[in-house]
Structure 1
Amino acid sequence: MTTPRDLLFVTMDVESSRTVERGNLSLALAGAELIDLLEAQAVSLDGDRIVPGYRPAVADRLMDEAASSLDQQPPYESVDDWLWRRGRGLSTAYLTAFETEGQLTRQPRNRWIPFRSGGELTLADSPARRAAAARWTAGEPVLAALATALRLRDERPEEPADVADEAVETVLATVADAVNELEFERQRRAIDDEAFSNIWRGPGG
């Protein structure tokens, strides 16, 4: 399986007091795709610029789309720009793929899932789901860092995940920054909406 798929399994499976917003998840999934492309040597980083490498054969349709969408011309795309462009609607695309493949089913709610799915989605028991759970339980650094960016854990780990590859570290740091930026923008809009609502109601509500 791929890192974005494992991340989606973990996001829907892990008990958490927080709900994961689709926008946050989309950014993290885009980062996970880029990390897998780095590990496949399909891309490299020149500073924060994504430089295409050789084009590997990719069985996963969404990962193939990711590889196909790379900017092929200098000065190339920054990691941050990639996250925002590629991440647009990406969580929905992965959920649709899961549902098409039978990894995900719609049925009456029988447990709370920390993800705003827009429907009652339940993960099917599958080898892919169990493999993702094993990777999570083992504390694999990349998956752990992505989960931290999404605040899946109620408490942040005392030590950041130990990722040896500098390029992967750059992607993970950019994902965390992008998620924080989106959260800040979401909070700012909520404050603006509340202020407008108070003005509209006028004195005394």
Structure 2
Amino acid sequence: MTTARDLAIVAAGPESNPGVEQGDLSLALAGAELIDLIDSHTVTLESDRLVPGAPPEIDDPLLREAASALLRQEPYETVGDWLRRRGRDLAAHYRAALEADGLVEPARPRRNPFRRASPTSPDAPELRLAAERWSTGEAALLGLGAAAGVTDQPDTPSTGLTDDQGVVVGTVYDAVTQLAAVRQRETIEQAAFDNIWRGN
């Protein structure tokens, strides 16, 4: 089990916030992958730069893909750059992996395909472990979930996070805020364009 996979499972549950944006969740999933890569010493965080190390044996296919995606040339990339690059459509990839493993049923197309997806095996160990991490308030998982809007709580205290985890979770919050600003600007621009065509 990985932090990103657990976050995807939690986001797929019926208790998750129905307003979760796929872009926000993708950024949080990329942050979750990064936390696991740091914990496994696949990458070291120096200031806000990701310095890759020797890749260890990784069983999870998506986390192995994330490890292979690390940039290995100086000056290396920042955490924010990683989130934006790796996070592109990442929620959809995790959704597909959960469906392929029979952990959730295929969802009908909607704004948030993770929402109210019924697990095909509600007693599956992966589902129980993810729910346990979430319910016990595991700091990194809860922080990333709050950043993505999976929970209704707007903010989650950083208590319990390591320094590196704090940097990653904080950067996810910043990236989500920036993405929200982009969406708002696009909405305003679209409304202005529509008004022009209506002659208002």
TM-score (norm 1): 0.89
Task: Write the deviation string for residues 134-166 of structure 1: whole angstroms up to 9, x where unpaired.
Answer: 111101100110111012232335x61313421
Deviation at 1:107, TM superposition (A): 6.7
Summarize the Cα distance change of 1:73–1:107 in structure 2 as closer, same or farther, 3 Å threshold: closer
Aligned length: 198
- What is the distance in 1 between the residues matched to 2:107 and 2:11? 19
- Please identify, of 119-128 and 181-190, the stretch whose mean Cα deviation from structure 2 is larger: 119-128
Which amino acid counterpart does residue 53 of structure 2 have in structure 1?
A: G
| % identical equivalent positions | 44
- In the other structure, the counterpart of 1:196 is 193
Post-superposition offset of 1:187: 1.1
Partner of 1:143: 141
Do the aligned partners of 1:146 and 1:172 also contact (CA within 8 Å) in 2?
yes
Question: Residues 119, 9 of structure 1: CA spacing in aligned structure 2 closer, same or farther, 3 A cutoff?
Answer: closer
Q: Which residue of 1 aligns with 2:118?
A: 122
What RMSD over aligned residues (CA atoms) do the two structures have, in Å? 2.2
The 3-state SS of whatever aligns with 1:58 is coil
Q: Give 5+ residue unaligned stretches, structure 2.
A: none
Contact 2:48 2:78 in 1 (8 A): yes
* Alignment map for 1:68-107 (pairs within 5 Å): 68-106=68-106
1:107–1:92 distance in 2 versus 1, CA, 3 Å: closer
Q: Residues 38 and 118 of structure 1: is their aligned pair in 2 closer, same or farther, counting only changes over 3 Å?
A: closer
Alignment correspondent of 1:26: 26
TM-score scaled by length of structure 2: 0.91
Q: Distance in 2 between matches of 1:54 and 1:149?
A: 30
